[in-house]
Amino acid sequence: MMPLSKVYNVIPLAEHLDTIKVLYVTDENFRTLWDDYHTSKINLKKSRERSLEEMRSELEYQQLADDLEAEIITYLNNKSL
């Protein structure tokens, strides 16, 4: 799991920190979504550290991270606690 302290660095998600905490513990679908997002962010960071030949992977991870972030925001906006 992405440490929740790092959520503050993800501006679109920071305002949902309390909901993220609850859903991560109580909602398996959200937990899977969040873990996938976290993994994509880790892979993106690693990819940025590699050579230019691997730029394609970075773009793919960025797209995945962006798509998952949008899905998380949609999920959070549709979930009421």
Q: pLDDT tens, 7-49?
A: 545 667 888 888 998 999 999 999 999 999 988 888 887 777 7
* 75 and 68 Cβ atoms separated by less than 8 Å: no
pLDDT grade, residue 3 (50/70/90)? low
Query: pLDDT value at position 64?
Result: 93
Predicted pLDDT of residue 52:
65
Whether this model's pTM surpasses 0.85 = no
Residue 1: the pLDDT is 54
Would you call 45 exposed, middle or buried from its count of C-beta atoms within 10 A (0-12, 13-18, 19+)?
Answer: exposed
